[in-house]
Structure 1
Amino acid sequence: MKKGMAGAKLGIFIFLGSVLLVIGIFMLGNKEALFKDTYTVKAYFHNIEGLRNGAPVRLSGIDVGAVKEIRIIGDTVSVLEVSMRLLTEIERFIRKDTYAEIQTEGLVGNKIVSLKMGNSEGEQVEDGGMILSREPVNFADIIEETQGIMAYTKEMTKDLSEIVQKVNTGDGTIGKLLNDDDLYYAAANLTESADRSLLSITSELNIVTQQFNKLGAGIESVVTNVNNVVARLDLLLLSVSEGKGVIGSLLKEGTTQDSSFTAILTG
């Protein structure tokens, strides 16, 4: 009887130990903090790109929690709610404008959630609160776009190869110019003749410009002399009108004599 009780106790002990071991392995596999205080925050995505429960949550590259639950919101899969269990000790860094972003470890590694800190003066997120989210990069779209670019590049390379082939065989204007020596020398002579003509025209224009400059200087001198003569005439007329000088005196005396003669006749 005692041996039976001892065996039962041993079996129960082994069973409980196995259960605890499995739970411990599960918790460690999910990277849960077994002996630290945690709290929950939520973020909403339209696409989680294969993110799973237990995926690590990192802040500035440091593991600060794990994905607790992923569930569909509403009747469609257009919105997915990701609940994250975070260490309470980093609660002061999680603000209302903190956002979560789903990233990939390595090139084809597992998905993780990366937290980007917001304004340090913003309001803290309470337990069960929501933070912002940024949609993950869709590698399928990138690959599809890359394939389109590669196809376009292939077609462009093919066209360029055909053009080079035509040039080498002397087809087209460029091909004839490069492969026909007579045409090449004719084009070179034409270019040289055009250069000489342009140089001659430029020289003649310089001569004409110099002549215009000299003519402009002469005209400016004549205008200056005319202005001086006009100024002197103005001064002379002013002196005459004021009775100054010989002419002014004669005009003034003549006026007086005419007045006296007129007075005698009328007397």
Structure 2
Amino acid sequence: MKVTASQKLKTGLFIAIAFGLLLLCIFLIGKQQNLFNSTFTVQARFKNVSGLQVGNYVRFAGINAGTVNNILIENDTTVRVDLNLQTSVQPYIRPDAVASITNDGLMGDKLVQVSPGSNMSGNLKNGDRIATVNPPDMDRMIAKATSILNNAESITGDLADIVQRVNNGEGSLGRLVSSDKLARELESTVSSTRSTMQSIKKGADGFSDNMDAAKNNFLFRGYFRRKEKERIKDSIEKAKAKSNADLKKKKNE
């Protein structure tokens, strides 16, 4: 079968388009993995990487500045993460910079966030180790939140049961709330108690007035004056005794 010029042209166009798409894919993948940029590598160690994967982004100041190059389990408590960073951000990352694992949005992929650190001199170099902040244990947090919700549900159910019993007039509080007779009796008791307290106060005020009058009465004036002299004399004797005790203490010292 003879191949026409039109078929050759179509085949050539198809191959050219496929080759162009292949080059575009290589360029995009290479750009994402920093294959065409000058990079340097730093190490970060975590207790738990929380689903972080090779190829995830590394962000610095909110900008994609690199990717996760390798994840290696060193022992049962340490996971080493190698970060491939662009050399363009190297002058801004200090030796006391900190790396942490966060989410890309609410439900996005995991990524590594690198803080710049303080203004101390020097910069991170290739192969340096960076400080880290371990991500929270989400499973433990979810389990704790579930336990709190279960307790809250149980408490809410108990409160609802108590309120229902009160509304039905069960128990002392329920009878007090639903019974007009008990409410009136309680109000009467409170009123009676208030009147009694007022009477006691009036009696105390009257007793105080009587005592003042007795002090000024010529029949009791001598008695109260004698009591006042005895009180003053007793105070003077106590003061002298304390003064003598202080003098003896100073002499002994």
TM above 0.5, one fold? yes
The offset of 1:47, in angstroms, is: 0.9
Indicate if the aligned counterparts of 1:64 and 1:87 stay in contact, CA closer than 8 A. Answer: yes
Structure 1 stretches of 4+ moved >4 Å:
13-22, 203-215
C-alpha root-mean-square deviation of aligned residues, in Å? Answer: 3.4
Q: Distance in 2 between matches of 1:92 and 1:201?
A: 85
% identical aligned pairs: 28
The offset of 1:150, in angstroms, is: 1.5
1:43 corresponding residue in structure 2: 44
2:58 corresponding residue in structure 1: 57
1:110 corresponding residue in structure 2: 109
Q: Distance in 2 between matches of 1:211 and 1:145?
A: 70
Q: Distance in 1 between matches of 2:176 and 2:41?
A: 76
**Deviation string, structure 1 residues 92-138 (Cα, Å, up to 9, x no partner):** 33223211110011222100111123221255322110111111123
2:123 corresponding residue in structure 1: 124
SS in 2 for 1:82: strand
The offset of 1:210, in angstroms, is: 7.1
TM-score, structure 1 normalization: 0.65
The offset of 1:164, in angstroms, is: 0.9
- In 2 relative to 1, CA 108–68 (structure 1 residues): closer, same or farther, beyond 3 Å? same
1:257 corresponding residue in structure 2: none
2:73 corresponding residue in structure 1: 72
Greater mean deviation of Cα atoms: 205-214 or 105-114 = 205-214
Indicate if the aligned counterparts of 1:70 and 1:82 stay in contact, CA closer than 8 A. Answer: yes
Q: Distance in 2 between matches of 1:50 and 1:26?
A: 22
**Deviation string, structure 1 residues 193-213 (Cα, Å, up to 9, x no partner):** 122222333444456667788
Structure label with greater radius of gyration: 1
1:89 corresponding residue in structure 2: 88
Greater mean deviation of Cα atoms: 112-121 or 137-146 = 137-146
SS in 2 for 1:183: helix
Q: Distance in 2 between matches of 1:66 and 1:210?
A: 93
- In 2 relative to 1, CA 113–210 (structure 1 residues): closer, same or farther, beyond 3 Å? farther
Give the AA of the match of 1:115: V
Q: Distance in 2 between matches of 1:170 and 1:19?
A: 81
**Count of residue pairs brought into register by the alignment:** 206
SS in 2 for 1:124: coil
2:28 corresponding residue in structure 1: 25
1:34 corresponding residue in structure 2: 36
For 1:102-181, what aligned pairs fall within 5 Å after superposition?
102-121=101-120, 123-181=122-180
Indicate if the aligned counterparts of 1:100 and 1:114 stay in contact, CA closer than 8 A. Answer: yes
Give the AA of the match of 2:96: D
- In 2 relative to 1, CA 100–195 (structure 1 residues): closer, same or farther, beyond 3 Å? same
Q: Distance in 2 between matches of 1:69 and 1:208?
A: 93
Q: Distance in 2 between matches of 1:209 and 1:124?
A: 86
Q: Which runs of 5 or more residues in structure 1 are unaligned?
A: 1-9, 227-267
TM-score, structure 2 normalization: 0.69
Q: Distance in 1 between matches of 2:114 and 2:143?
A: 28
Indicate if the aligned counterparts of 1:93 and 1:120 stay in contact, CA closer than 8 A. Answer: no
